[in-house]
Amino acid sequence: MLQGLYAAAAGMSAQQTRMDAVSNDLANVDTTGYKHSRLAFRDLLYVRDGAEGVQVGSGSAAADLGRSSAPGAFQETGRALDVALTGPGYLQVMSGGQPALSRAGALQVDARGRLCTPSGALVDGVKPVPAGTSADELRIAQDGTVTTPQGTALGRIRIVDVPAPDGLRSIGDSLFATTAGSGTATAVRTTGANATTLRQGVLEGSNVDTSDAMVDLIESQRAFSMASRAVQTQDQMMEIANGVKR
């Protein structure tokens, strides 16, 4: 009888994990470059019950499938340091001394003239902006080349991609780290057919679909409620069983 109690409790835990993920997606619906979470459910351990060999499950658990790689909607901003990737790929940045990937193109210039993301991750491949040069006057070409109004090239923003984007690990602030599941990051083509290019003055929004997320949240809440009722039913059955023994 305890098996049913454990299975129902496991279902509650799985649905709570799903609700947390969907709630986080909804909270970031307006976050530039945000990618929504992908969750699934897996069976827990099955055990043989009784002489008939019946397999009894231990419930379910949530399984993290990584972040969606679907693109978000483009938003025209006209800001010189706003960039969006047209096609697959990521901006390569340095966060805490480690390489990271991002689709959030709301770039800034820090106190030392370096291009960085709003969280402070440094854009890889670009020299500091010369003193006296306004960030609003910088030009960013489709291949990522950054130049000053005087035509001085500061370098090229590195655009990379991985074999399996769904395998990337989210490390916060719309940044991702490569894993064994995602594969190694390599440079992408920025010219020719099916190339990935940069658009200046444009941002890629979150890829969270509010309607789908709300439906998922309602489903999770109802499933959680059903699992909690199962726990209550198991408790009542145990109370009756204990009363019969007495």
**If the chain, 246 residues long, is cut into consecutive pieces of 10 residues, what is the mean pLDDT of each piece?**
77 92 94 90 74 70 86 92 93 92 93 90 92 90 92 93 91 91 91 86 94 94 91 81 68
What pLDDT was estimated at residue 236?
82
- Residue 127 carries which DSSP code? P
Domain ranges in the chain are 2-69+208-245, 74-204
Contacts of 93 (CB under 8 A, 6+ apart): 99, 100, 101, 102, 116, 117, 121, 122, 123, 124, 175
What is d(CA 182, CA 243) in angstroms, rounded to the nearest whole number?
Answer: 56
**DSSP bridge pairs for 82:** 106
CA separation (Å) from 57 to 8, 69, 123, 197? 11, 33, 49, 50
Q: Which two tokens stand for residue 151?
A: 């035509």
pLDDT at residue number 218 = 95
The reported pLDDT for the residue numbered 178 is 94
Determine the pLDDT at residue 245. 58
pTM: predicted TM-score of the whole model, two decimal places? 0.80
